[in-house]
Chain A
Amino acid sequence: MLIILALLFFMLPVYWLMTTAFKFGRDAFAIPPKWLLFDFTFKNFQDIWENSQTPRYLLNSIIVSAGATLLSLLLGVPAGYAIARSKSAIINASAYFFLLLLMIPPIAMLIPFYLVMRNLHLLGGYAALIILDAIFDAAFVAWMMRSYFQDAPREMEEAALVDGASPLRAFLSIALPHSLPGVAASALYCIIFSWNDFLFALMLTSPRTKTIPLGIMASFSSVEINWGEMAAMSLIAITPALIIALFLNRYFVQGLTMGSARG
């Protein structure tokens, strides 16, 4: 009984969002509410697709997520490896430095970063947003990959080192290929967080580089609030993150418990 109540509480808003996306306006706001019997339509999706901005928002979200993810992996994976394998106290301690960095309030970073980017004339482009996303993502990747490499067997790497390979070689040709599941999980996590980010995109993008969450807001602030279109666009916005999160499960939750929830 309690289980059903709990499931209803957590699932009904999601159900409402999903159905509203397929409702005509008259059914979306019918009083009393129509939960099950309504005229099913793809009109909202058609409308947002024909609104020339939506494909643009999607493309921007893809560019930013891909850019931030690639940059984070490039910087974070080697760093995680170095921290996991090094015997140096300083290098090991840097892991905690990255963990602290993850927990910084985004606004505290955003305000000075905005000024710096303004002076460099980088506001409104993709670069500023990608870089700021990547700071948080890369710190997370370094931390994740550190624990991944710590748990990975090191016999093969040690054998290579004994044979005279450098640690760089051991990383590139042995450790890295064997750690692809960990790298993939980190990548998906980065994608979710860039995809869902709103605050950074709000301040750093121009109309040309707006991402999906800003698109949703835009459909909102126009003269007439179109909840159906809002729901349809939200549905598109949540789908990738939803699929990935259900896939990742454990890693996804680990990311959230690292304190980096930017919500």
Chain B
Amino acid sequence: MRSRFKRSIFFVEKHYLLLLAPLLVFVAAIALYPLLFSFYISFFKYRLTDPNQARTFLGLANYINAFHDKTVVTAIRNTFVFVAGTVSIELVLGLGLALLFSGKSRGMRVMRSFLIIPMALPSLVVGLVWKSLYNVDFGVIPYYLKQLGLDMGRGPLGEIKLAMPAVILIDIWQWTPLVMIIFLAGLKSLPREPYEAARVDGASRWQSFWRITLPLLKPTILIVLLLRTMQGFKVFDIIYAATGGGPGTATTVLNYHIYTVGMVFFKMGYAAALANILLIIVAVLAVLYIIVLQRQQI
């Protein structure tokens, strides 16, 4: 609703500002200050384990070192593998589930609410449950695979080649239902006319899916891509619970590595620099996401 009067962009109502002010002050003090501090500290060598708590100015060294640090490079590569694997599979599977569960019957509604369960669970618990399902000695999954003649060696989480796919599967299990629900909303908002026209023209269901549904769903697909990519960069609990980044560095993603550098080795300056790199990646995605979201609705 546009106001009838042309107002200065600096116009604010005193009363509404008063209602907004507490949250603004809180955010400025609790979020902005630490973020600025993190920016500042990322130019220093600052180790909490140092008895003198010395901060040595390094300039851009922390940022430059990051790209020569083997673990960081591995972590970034793992992050991209994780994000690409989870997002692509969740996109296809989520759309499939949405088509499968789009019915209006009571039974469908009940089944849909069952599918919400995985995403309501704490990711930590999800990671632990799968860790035990994957366990090589008594886990259910290696047992049945062995029955089928597949021997997994040290188990899905113990083998370097299998660990990342195994972790990706955990994420798919927890978050595909979310993708399904976003697609369900997208499907619901599709117009009916093109389908009726296609039916009259004798198009098969397969054809109308490829020629009508998919093109019309493009905005929804974009939203899912951006949202899940952004969330993929933030994965932590699942990795912590299931693998701890291992075996070796096979499942060490950037987010998890920052935690290790900062909160296990207490190299705060370096951790802050790495965190800022992650922050920039996610911020770009977030801005894109908000722009797409805005264009979609309202």
Interface residues of A (CB under 8 A from B): 2-3, 6-7, 9-11, 13-14, 16-17, 20, 28-33, 74-76, 78-79, 81-83, 85-91, 94, 96, 98-101, 103-116, 118, 131-132, 134-135, 138-139, 142, 166-168, 171, 192, 195-196, 198-199, 202-203, 213, 216-217, 220, 227, 230, 234, 237-238, 241-242, 244-246, 249, 252-253, 256-257, 259, 261-263
Tell whether A237 pairs with B125 under 8 Å between CB atoms, given A86-B13, A261-B231: yes
A263, B238: Cβ atoms closer than 8 Å? yes
Tell whether A199 pairs with B237 under 8 Å between CB atoms, given A10-B173, A135-B27: yes
Tell whether A263 pairs with B235 under 8 Å between CB atoms, given A138-B23, A198-B122: yes
- Report A-chain residues with C-beta under 8 Å of the C-beta of B123: 196, 198, 263
In-complex Cβ contact of B230 among A74, A85, A96, A259 (8 A): A259
Q: Known pairs A6-B101, A100-B283, A198-B122. 9 more at Cβ < 8 A?
A: A6-B97, A28-B138, A101-B31, A103-B230, A111-B263, A112-B35, A216-B128, A238-B122, A259-B230
A90, B178: Cβ atoms closer than 8 Å? no
A196, B122: Cβ atoms closer than 8 Å? yes
CA distance A20 to B24 in the complex (A): 46
CA distance A227 to B138 in the complex (A): 11
- Report A-chain residues with C-beta under 8 Å of the C-beta of B18: 82, 168
Rounded to whole Å, the gap between the CB of A185 and the closest CB of chain B is 15
A contact face: mostly helix, strand, loop, or mixed: helix
Rounded to whole Å, the gap between the CB of B98 and the closest CB of chain A is 11
What are 10 sample pairs from A and B whose C-beta atoms fall under 8 A apart? A76-B23, A78-B22, A90-B11, A108-B279, A109-B31, A111-B262, A135-B27, A167-B19, A238-B125, A263-B123
Residue of B nearest to A106 (CB): B234
- Report A-chain residues with C-beta under 8 Å of the C-beta of B175: 261, 263
A213, B275: Cβ atoms closer than 8 Å? no
Rounded to whole Å, the gap between the CB of A112 and the closest CB of chain B is 4
- Residue of B118, B122, B132, B178 with most chain A CB atoms under a 10 A cut-off: B122
Contact indicator per residue, chain B 179-191, by CB within 8 Å of chain A (1) or not (0): 0011000000000
B41 within 8 A of A: yes
Rounded to whole Å, the gap between the CB of A114 and the closest CB of chain B is 7
Contact indicator per residue, chain B 99-127, by CB within 8 Å of chain A (1) or not (0): 01100000000010111111111111110
B26, A100: Cβ atoms closer than 8 Å? no
- Report B-chain residues with C-beta under 8 Å of the C-beta of A198: 122-124, 236-237, 240
**Contact residues of B between 1 and 56, Cβ < 8 Å to A:** 3, 7, 9-13, 15-20, 22-24, 26-27, 30-31, 33-35, 37-38, 41, 48
CA distance A28 to B129 in the complex (A): 12
B120, A245: Cβ atoms closer than 8 Å? yes
**Contact residues of B between 133 and 157, Cβ < 8 Å to A:** 133, 137-138, 140, 143
